[in-house]
Amino acid sequence: MNASVEQQAFRSDARDWLAANFPPALKDKSYRALADKDPALAADLEVWRSRLAGKGWGAPTWPAEYGGAGLGHPQAKVIQEEMEAIGAFNPIPTLAGMGVTMVGPTMLEYGTDDQKARHLRGMASGEVRWCLGLSEPNAGSDLASLGTKAEDKGDHFVVNGQKIWTSGADISQWCGALVRTDPAKPKRDGISFVLLPMDQPGVRTRPIPLISGASPFCETYFDDARADKADLLGELNDGWSVIKRLLQHERQSQTSAGRRKLDNEEPLQDLAKRYVGTDADGTLSDKDLRARLTDNLMAAKAHELTIARITAEARGQVKVSAAASILKNSATRVAQTKAELKMEIMGAQGVGWDGEAYEADELASVREWLFGKAASIYGGSFEVQYNIISKNILGLPETTQKG
């Protein structure tokens, strides 16, 4: 069977399986829209999660022995396309927090066989949620300046310090944390990456409210917390190598220029016609807005095609590279511009915070605009990405301060 025929056969099988197993009540919904609202839908969501996990399609490219399906990226893309075609979705990466998108891929490369056996299946099934302890109040973009310490106690480390922007820390079972294990070494050489359980007496979390009204962020405090030596990911004092790889996976996960169409979301061009009005020929009446809207739609399409080109050039084996920095900044620009256009289109109706005078999508508009501002900071700021692009892609000299 040639590759094309094999791919079509896989697509047909995937379509049949999804039709038989995806609960119709979840059509065009998302995990975030369902999580706390309707017990019946929540039950359907758990059924769907369990079926996906059993099929290995929560993390389809992971090896089957670790809860994946052992598929290639072309097959994973087919699954995603067939899900989108019927209004389905994969909730497992969201349920696993930072597990499927960041910790898991890094563990597949740096983890021991024991670590993979103990941790990966829980991520791939969405039953164990992970957070990351990276940034600190005095170590954000200059991450290597971190002060959280891990003291060697023989078979385990004792961890003390504070982390910030630990997304989902208050609802996670495990944390991957970057800690200082040798203060005498240059700052990038005395760091290690440890895994530790969150449900222990030495770990405290405090949610951080954001201006958008909703926030996954927390402050996390480690007070004599324990991390077993068996859960040291990578070599002792070589955590900088581990975190560089993990951050590449993070950027890769943030290269989508916008979420897919959910809950009957109206295309921006149709929204503009409805709020602003049309000429006699049915075109958007505001020519300046029409031009800027067209620019944003073209930028979104160019971003989408660039991802497709990079994937094709990698011959189906999507590799994490410095190109993720270009795509992360491109995705941020497209999404932020779209949110600004949406507010402008809605006018006064797009800046309401609550009340019966506003529709649900109007209230969501201002929150989307506010939260979108964070995209140019989290996961490495715009400026951090530019430094990576200048050094690793353009070959320009190092400009950041070395420790």
Question: Which tokens is 228 given?
Answer: 């077993």
Tell me how far apart the alpha carbons of residues 250 and 373 are, in angstroms, rounded to a whole number: 18
Among the options 219, 250, 344, 362, which is catalytic?
250
Q: What is the CA radius of gyration of the chain?
A: 22
Is position 235 annotated as part of the catalytic site? no
Tell me how far apart the alpha carbons of residues 165 and 78 are, in angstroms, rounded to a whole number: 34
Question: Which tokens is 370 given?
Answer: 């506010």
User: Exposed, middle or buried, 97 (CB in 10 Å: 0-12/13-18/19+)?
Assistant: buried
Overall size of the chain counted in residues: 403
Tell me how far apart the alpha carbons of residues 212 and 83 are, in angstroms, rounded to a whole number: 30
- Can you list the alpha helix ranges (DSSP code H) found in 130-258? 239-253
For helices 73-85 and 3-21, give the axis angle rounded to 10 degrees. 40
Number of neighbours of residue 196 by Cβ within 10 angstroms = 23
Residues with catalytic roles: 250
